[in-house]
Amino acid sequence: MKISRRGFLKISGGVTTGAVLGTFGVHLKSSQAHAQTLKTKYAKETTTICPYCGVGCSEIVSVSNDRVINIEGDPDHPINQGSLCSKGEALIQVANNERRMTKILYRAPYSEKWEEKSWDWAIPEIAKRIKKTRDESWMAKDGKGRVVNRTEALAGLGGAALDNEECYLWSKLARALGIVYLEHQARI
Amino acid sequence: MAEKAILLDMEKCIACRACQVACKQWNELPAEKTTFFAAAGGYQNPIGLSPKTYTLVKFYEHEEQEKLKWLFRVHRCMQCVDPACVKACPVTPVKAMTFDKNTGATHVNRELCIGCGACREYCPFTIPVIDTEAGKSTKCTFCFDRLGDGIEPACAKACPTDCLVFGERDQILQMAHQAKENLEKKGRHPVIYGETELGTGTKKIYVLPEPLDYYPDVVKSPKVSEDLGFFHQMLKPFGTLTLTASLVGMVLAKMKEVKEKDKVKPS
Amino acid sequence: MTNHWIDIKNADCIMIIGSNAAENHPISFRWVNKAMENGAKLISVDPRFTRTSSRADIYAPIRSGSDIAFVDGVMNYIVQNNLFNQEYLVDHTNASFLVNTQFGFSDGLFTGYDGSKRMYKKDTWQYQLDESGNPKKDPTLQDPNCVFQLLKKHLSRYTLEKVSSITGCPAELIVEVAKTYGATGAKDKSATIMYAMGTTQHTVGTQNVRTYAMLQLLLGNVGVAGGGINALRGESNVQGSTDMAILFHILPGYLKTPRVENQTLAEYLEMWTPKSNDPKSANWWQHTPKYTVSLLKAFWGDHATKDNEFAYQYLPKVSANYSHISMFEAMYDGVIKGLICMGQNPAVGGPNVLKERKALEKLDWLVAVDLWETETAAFWSAPGVDPKKIGTEVFMLPAAASMEKEGSITNSGRWSQWRYTAVHPPGDAKSDLWILDQIGKELKKLYQADTGPFPGPIVHLNWNYGPGREEPDVHLVAKEINGYDLTTGKLMASFGALKDDGTTSSGNWLYCASYTEAGNMAARRDPTDAPNKIGLYPKWSWCWPVNRRIIYNRASCDLQGNPYAPHKWVVKWTGPETKWAGDVPDGGWPPGDKYSFIMKPEGHARLFGFGLADGPFPEHYEPLEAPVKNAMSAQQLNPVVKIWSGEMDDVGTVEKYPVIATTYRVTEHWQAGQMTRNNSWLVELMPDMFVEMSKTLAQAKGVKNGDRVRIKTARGEISAYAVVTARFKPFKLNGKSCEQIGLPWHYGYKGLATGHSANSLTPHVGDANTMIPEYKAFLCNVEKEVG
C-alpha cells in the first residue's frame, strides 16, 4: 500500500545540499468554508539530526521569521523514515523555550546570585583563569625526572552533546593545555 | 477522495507516546500540569482527554498465572464514519462540528462552535471535551489541515513502529485482519474494534491484541442515543440566532429530567 | 555498534539485554518490529519488565549484576549441545589457538594474580608460539590447551542450577533462551545483541560486554547482516565525542594517550604499534605511526617536524587513571582547581552525586556551558547549601542548540551526519565551536604576550578557523579532521594514504575519507541501497571506517569469499577482476589471503581475551554491594577493581540494606534531565521522581501505589513516589527471596520538573577495565514516608 508520509518538500540527493531547502511547494486544497493555511506552507526548511539518543533520526525544521514553527520527522531518512519518539517530537520546545540561557552569567565567590555579563568580559576572564591555574600547577617532570608536560589542576568534562567539530577542537585545545583530567559522558 | 482511516495495531505499540506529543506539537496544545501518574498500571498522563490533550496513551497491567501482560492503547476520537456529534451539533445553518467531505475528517470549527456540549452528550464514546474558558468543543481533528494537503496526520507519521498507519480505510481494514490473523496464529485472542461498531464503523481501526475485558475503559457496545431526533425537535422553536450553550444545556437537562420522570420514549 | 540501526531488521533473533531499547531508543523498534514481522524472535533480559519486555517473545528476568552468570550459562548450554558454529570458530576466532600450559584458573582467580596490587601479571595468559613466532593452533579444537577446550571447561561450572540460583531466572527460561538464541548458530541464520548501560555500568561491565561478544562468536554472528554486538548509545554524539577522544586514555581515532614511560615518540610507537609475523595477518594497528604523526601535524602544523619528534613532547603524558570517578575524587581532595564543563551535568548524572556536588564546592572556578541553568552550574544554590560558604567562581555560558548551528554528529551505527543552522541562537547564546574558538584565540594571545611555563603547545597550536569574533568556519574544522596531503594541499581521500613522514595530516584517521575533494560525505542524502539490498544505504551520510557499514564483514564469508547467508549477504568475492561486491570490505585482499579480524595482530576474534585486566574469560563476581555471597568462588568482588575509601565513599551491607537497587532512564526524559525537564510536554508525561517496586515489597512496607517512600543507601537518602507494579518481582537467589527496586536517574533541583537525584544513592566504584561507575547494582532500604 502506498501511503505517503511526506508532505514536506523533496530534498534532493547528491553529495551536497544547501542549508536552506526552499519553500513548501504543495498546493493547499480548500477543505471547507474556513479553510486554514497549513502553517508550514511558507516556512524555510532545513534538516537536522535529533539531539537526544544515539539513533540519529533526521528531522525537518520549519522556520518563519527566524523562529521555529514546526519540527517533525524527515520522511526521506532511511533510519527513522519520518517517525520520531516523544522526545524527538518535542524538540521544538528546545528551540522555543523561555527557560533557555540567553545571557552570560557570573557568580562571584560567596555570592548568592548571578550577575549578567558580556562575552567581551567573559572570554578574557576565563582565559586568564585557565592560564593562571595551568601555570601554577604546571608539571614539566614527575618525581623520577621524567617529562610529563601536564597539569592536574585543570579538568574538562562533557562533549556527548557537542558536534564532532566541537569535540575535536576541545580535544585538541585540552591537549595543548596539558589537561589530563579530560572526560565526558562516555565514561559514565 | 477514498475514505481514509488510521490503523492502531496496538500489539506493535511501545508506548513511546510520540503520537501524544506529535498531536500537541502540530496542534500547538499546551502542556497540562500533572503530578505522579494519573492511573495505575503504568505511566499514563494526563488523566484524560481535555482541551489541551487530544491524544492519550493508556497503560494496562494484567497478570494471569504468573504471565504478565503490559498493554497500551492510544485513546482519542474514533472519527466515526457516520458521526453522531455532527448530527447532534445544533448550530445552523453550517454545523460547528464539521464533517469535511474532502478529507473525511470530523473536526470542530472553532469560529462557529458555541460550546454547548451536545456533541459530547451524543458521542457514543464520550470523547469531545468542552473548553469552558473558550466556550468551544475540542477533540482530535484528524489533522484535516494536513489531510487537505495530502499529508498524513501527525500521530501516524510520528509512530516509530507503524502501530499507527494512515491510509485508505478498506486497505487499513485488510491490514487489521492480517494483523489479527497473525496474532491468532500465535494463540492470542485479538479484537478488531472500529470496523463494524455503530453499524457503519469508525475511521480509527484498532487491533487490540487481547479481548475487550483487558481494556476496561473501552466502550463495549457503543450506541448512539436514540433521542437525537427529539433533541433537535426540542431546539427547533428557538431558531438559530438565539442558540447559546446555556440554552442547549437547559434543553439537554430538561430531556434528562423528562426521561427520568415519565420514562417517555422519545419519538 | 558493529552493525547499524537498519540492520536490526535482518536478524532472525534479537536479544535485548542490559538495554531497554523500546524506551531509550524507540526508533530502534521500527527495525526490531520489521525483523519480527519476518519471523524473528525477541528476547528481553532485564530485572524489570519494561516496555521492551512487553513486546518480547521471551522475557527472562535476572537480578542486576548477574549478566555474566546468565550468558555463561547460555553459552554453556550452547557448547554442551553443539549449537555453536564450528567452521566460524576455526576460521574467524582464536578458538583453535593453543594457550600457555601454565595458564589456569582456581576459585575465582586466574593465574598471575597479585593481591597486594589487585592486578594480574599476564605472562601465562599467552598463546603458545611456533618457530616463526606465530600462535600454534589445533583446528580440530581437541587439544586440552586450545582456547575452545579451556572455554568449555570454564563454562562447564555454569550449570543451569547454579546460574538459576545466582540470577534468579528460572532454569527452564534459561534453556528457552539458549535454544532460541542458539538456533542462530546455523550458518545462514543470524542474531543480534542490543545492549546499553545496563551492561556496562557494573564492576564487571567490560566482561559483561565480552560475554555477549563471545556468545556471538560461538554462533558465528559477528560480521554478518542481522548480527553483531550493538551498543545502543544514549547521547546523539557520544560516539563522535568518543571518537574525538574527550577521554583521558585515548587520542582521536583511539590512539593511545602517551604514558610517562613513552618519553620519546619512538618509545611511544614501539609500545603501541602491535606486531605480527604472520603474513596473513593484516594487523591494521601496524599503521599507528602514520596516524600518530598525521595527528601531530594536524595539531601543530609546521611546528611539528621530524627534528622535534613532530612535536610529540607537546602532548601531556599520563601516569595514572584520570577517569570520571578519579576526577571527582581529586576534585574533592582539592587537586583540581578549575573545571570546564560543556553540556554535561555531573551534579545529577555523576555517581555518588552528593560527593560530586561537594567536590564542585572545592573548585576555584567553574565554567559551565549549556542551554539551561543546570544543577551543576547552580550547585552553589542547591537545596541545603549555603552559598555564602562557597568560594567557587562560576561562569555560565549560554550555548546554541542543535538546530542553531552547523556540524556533524555520529550516531551509534557510526554514521556521521551533517546538520544545518535553522535559526539563530537566542540572545547571547553561541555555538560551542565559537566559544572554544574564542577561548583558544585568547589563550594564544595570553601566552604570546607572557610566556609562562611551556607555552609552545599553545602558541604553536594550529588554530585558524576564522577571524575575530566571527563564527568559525566549521567546514575548515571538518576538513582538518579528515586531513590533507601537505605536499599538494588537497584533502586526503582515505587513511590508506596517510604517512608517518610528516607529509600528511589528519586530526582523526578514522574520519579520513569523511570530507574529501569530492565533498562533505556526511551531508550526502542519496537514498539508493547497495546491490545486496540489506539496508546499508552507502550513499546516505558517511560512516567510519571508510564508509564500511558492517564491520568485520569478511567474517560473513567462508575462506573462498562465499557468503554464509546468501539471502542477506554483506560482501562476496566476485573474482580477481571484479573483487568484492556489497559493503566496503574489511580490506580488499582476496578471501583467504588475510584473516578477517584485521584489528587484532593475530587476525582472529578473541574468545580468549588476554587484553583485559580481570581475566581472559568472563567470570561472575558480585557487585560492590550484593545481597548474597558469590556462589561461584571465594572472590566476592571483581579482584582487580579499585576500591575507593575516602570520605563519603561508604559501602553498605545486606544486613542494613537488604534490597537491590538499580537506576535507569525513561523514554520521556534524557540523561541528567536538562534537555527534557525544561520541556513542558515531556514534563507533563513524567512530572516526578518515582521508584518502581514489586507488590510483595510494597505490601511488606505498607506502601500503596502513589505513596511517598524514602530510599536509603550508605551514601544518601532520597524521597520518591512509589509505583507498585507486577513488573518487578522478587528474585529467588539460592532459595532466598530478594527484592529489587528501580529508580529513574533524570531528576534534580533545577528545571520545570524537579525531584531527588537517584545518584545520591550510587557508589563511587568502577569497572575493572574502564572505571565506568556501578550505577546498576547497589543495596538500599525502602520505607514508607511518614507525615
**C523: Cβ contacts below 8 Å, ≥ 6 apart:** A15, A16, A17, C418, C541
Q: Are A159 and C343 in contact (CB under 8 A)?
A: yes
Which residue ranges make up each domain of chain C?
A: 5-235, 324-458, 659-784
Could you tell me if A153 lies within 8 Å of chain C, comparing CB atoms? yes
CATH class of C324-458: alpha beta
φ and ψ of C745, to 5 deg? -110, 20
Length of chain B: 267
- Residue C73: Cβ within 10 Å count: 30
Measure the CA–CA gap between C131 and C145, rounded to whole angstroms.
Answer: 18
* pLDDT over 50 (residue C740): yes
Q: Is the pLDDT of residue C270 over 80?
A: yes
Give pLDDT tens digits for C348-401: 999 999 999 999 999 999 999 999 999 999 999 999 999 999 999 999 999 999
Residues of chain C found within 8 Å of residue A127, distances taken between Cβ atoms: 439, 442-443, 445-446
CA distance A31 to chain C (A): 30
Residues C68/C70/C72/C76 CA torsion (nearest 10 deg): 170
Distance from CA of B2 to the nearest CA of C (A): 28
B29 touches chain A (CB under 8 A): no
- Average pLDDT across chain C, whole number: 98
CB contacts of B38 in chain C (<8 Å) are none
CATH number at residue B51: 3.30.70.20
pLDDT reading at B267 higher than 80: no
Q: Does C428 have pLDDT greater than 50?
A: yes
**B189: its cell numbers:** 485472542
Of the candidates C22, C27, C726, the beta carbon closest to that of B61 is on C726
pLDDT of residue A20: 33
For residue B256, the model assigns a pLDDT of 84
Instruction: Find cell 571506517 and name the residue.
Output: C545
Most B CBs within 10 A among C684, C688, C703, C728, hence the mutation to make, goes to C684
Tell me if B202 is assigned to some domain: yes
A61 versus B261: which is more confidently predicted?
A: A61
Residue B220 inside a domain? The answer is no
Read off the pLDDT of residues C40-84 as tens digits, 9 standing for 90 and up. 999 999 999 999 999 999 999 999 999 999 999 999 999 999 999
In a domain, B267, yes or no: no
* C5-235 fold: Dimethylsulfoxide Reductase; domain 2 (3.40.228)
pLDDT, tens digit (0-9, with 9 covering 90-100), for C497-523: 999 999 999 999 999 999 999 999 999
Give the integer Cα–Cα distance in Å for C102 and C365.
53
Q: Is the pLDDT of residue B264 over 90?
A: no
Cα torsion for A158, C510, C312, C489, to the nearest 10°? -120
C-alpha dist (Å) from residue A59 to A77, A90, B15, C420, C678:
9, 11, 21, 11, 20
**What percent of chain C stands above pLDDT 90?**
99
Q: How far is the C-alpha of C329 from the C-alpha of C249, rounded, in Å?
A: 18
Nearest-angstrom CA–CA distance, C197 and C28:
16
pLDDT in tens, C526-580: 999 999 999 999 999 999 999 999 999 999 999 999 999 999 999 999 999 999 9
d(CA A73, CA A62): 11
A12 has a pLDDT exceeding 60:
no
Rounded to whole angstroms, the Cα distance separating B186 from C36 reads 13
What is the pLDDT at residue B263? Answer: 65
Just give the CATH number of C659-784. Answer: 2.40.40.20
Cell 570546564 belongs to residue: C340
**Cβ–Cβ under 8 Å, residues A103 and C428:** yes
Q: Which residue has the cell 426540542?
A: B234
pLDDT one-digit tens code per residue, C225-241 = 999 999 999 999 999 99
* pLDDT at residue A37 tops 70: no
Taking residues A9-18, report their average pLDDT.
Answer: 30
Residue/partner pairs of C451-454 with CB below 8 Å, 24 or more apart: C452/A131, C452/A134, C452/A135, C452/A138, C453/A134, C453/A135, C453/A138, C453/A140, C454/A138, C454/A140, C454/A149, C454/A178
Tens digit of pLDDT for each residue in B193-249? 999 999 999 999 999 999 999 999 999 999 999 899 889 888 888 876 678 888 999
| pLDDT confidence of residue B240 | 66
Chains that touch A (3 or more CB pairs under 8 A): B, C
Residue of A nearest to C450 (CA): A131
Give me the residues of B, 31-90, that contact C with CB < 8 A.
31-37, 40, 43, 45-46, 61, 63, 68-72
- ipTM of the prediction: 0.98
pLDDT at A28 over 90: no
Which of A91, A90, A125 minimizes the C-alpha distance to A106?
A: A125
Per-residue cell: C455: 607555552
Residue A34 amino acid letter: H
Distance (Å) from the alpha carbon of C131 to chain B's nearest alpha carbon: 57
Q: Which amino acid is at B240?
A: T
Q: Are residues B17 and B73 in the same domain?
A: yes
How confident is the model over A7-19, as a mean pLDDT? 32
Query: Hey, do C5-235 and C659-784 end up sharing a CATH topology, with the first three levels equal?
Result: no
Q: Which residue of A has its CA nearest to C476?
A: A165
Q: Which residues of A touch B149 (CB under 8 A)?
A: 7, 26-29, 38
- Is the confidence at residue A25, as pLDDT, over 80? no
C553: DSSP letter? G
Domains in chain A: boundaries:
44-95, 137-184
Question: Min CA distance, A116 vs chain C (Å)?
Answer: 10
* The CATH fold of domain A44-95: N-terminal domain of TfIIb (2.20.25)
3-state secondary structure labels for all residues of chain B: CCCEEEEEEHHHCCCCCHHHHHHHHHHCCCCCCCCCCCCCCCCCCCCCCECCECCEEEEEEEEECCEEEEEEEEECCCCECCCHHHHHCCCCCCCCEEECCCCCCEEECCCCCCCCCHHHHHCCCCCCEEECCCCEEECCCCCHHHHCCCCCCHHHHHCCCCCEEEEEHHHHHHHHHHHHHHHHHCCCCCEEECCCCCCCCECEEEEECCCHHHCCCCCCCCCCCCCHHHHHHHHHHHCCCCCCHHHHHHHHHHHHHHHHHHCCCCC
pLDDT at C475 over 70: yes
Q: Is residue C692 over pLDDT 60?
A: yes
User: What is the sign of the dihedral through the CA atoms of C300, C511, A55 and B158?
Assistant: positive
Work out whether strand C338-342 and strand B204-208 pair parallel, antiparallel, or are unpaired: unpaired
Task: Identify whether the C-beta of residue C540 lies closer than 8 Å to the C-beta of residue C525.
Answer: yes
Confidence of residue C214 (pLDDT cuts 50, 70, 90): very high
For residues C361 and B211, what is the distance between their CA atoms, to the nearest angstrom?
58
Same domain, B74 and B93: no
| A150: three-class secondary structure by DSSP | strand
Q: Which of A23, A86, A102 is nearest to A50 (CA)?
A: A86
Element (H, E) at C255: strand C255-256
Residue C710's beta-bridge partner residues? C719, C783
What mean pLDDT is predicted for residues C402-411?
98
- Give the model's pLDDT for residue B259: 78
pLDDT at A18 over 90: no
Count of the separate structural domains present in chain B: 2
Residues of chain A with C-beta less than 8 angstroms from the C-beta of B156? 5
Q: Do A84 and B18 touch (CB under 8 A)?
A: yes
The pLDDT of C461-465, averaged and rounded, is 98
Question: How far is the C-alpha of A87 from the C-alpha of A84, rounded, in Å?
Answer: 8
Do B167 and B130 share a structural domain? no
Angle at alpha carbon of residue C564, lines to C558 and C565, rounded to 5°:
160
A42 has pLDDT over 70: yes
Q: Which residues of C touch A159 (CB under 8 A)?
A: 237, 241, 244, 246, 342-344
Q: Does C572 touch chain B (CB under 8 A)?
A: no
Which structural domain, as residue segments, surrounds residue B188?
Answer: 8-79+151-214
* pLDDT of A21 over the 70 cut: no
C-alpha C215: how far from chain center: 18
**CA distances to B260, C101, C475 from C237, in Å:** 65, 45, 18
Other CB atoms within a 10 A radius of the CB of residue A116 amount to 10
Q: Render C527-552 in DSSP notation, one character per residue.
A: -PPPTT-SS--TTBSEETTTT-SSTT
